[in-house]
Amino acid sequence: MRRERPWEYDDLMICQATFYRLLDRLGIKVESLRWPTQRRMDAANGAVPPYTPMNALRLGEQVQIDFSAR
C-alpha cells in the first residue's frame, strides 16, 4: 500500500493501541508476537481442548492418549 498509493497511506494508518485492540479481538495476543518463531508454532499447533467436557464415573472409563508427531 505504501509503495503503490503513498498519498493514501497516512490516512489509513491507525494508532498502535487501536491496532493492538483489533488483534486482541481476533484472539492474537501482542506479547506472543515477540516470541521466537518455534515457540509461536508450538503454541499454534498445540492440543485443542475438547468441545464438551467428559466425566468418567468409573476407573478406566475414559482414556486419553497424547500423540506427538515429531
Asked if the structure places residue 28 within a domain, the reply is yes
* pTM greater than 0.85: no
Residue 69: predicted pLDDT? 63
pLDDT, one tens digit per residue, over 4-57 is: 888 887 787 888 888 888 888 888 878 877 888 888 888 777 766 665 667 788
Asked if the structure places residue 50 within a domain, the reply is no
Closest CA to 41 of 32, 49, 53, 50: 32
User: Domain span at residue 26?
Assistant: 6-43
Asked if the structure places residue 56 within a domain, the reply is no
Asked if the structure places residue 54 within a domain, the reply is no
Q: In which element (H, E) is residue 8 found?
A: helix 6-12
Asked if the structure places residue 48 within a domain, the reply is no
For residue 40, how many other CB atoms are within 10 A of its CB? 13
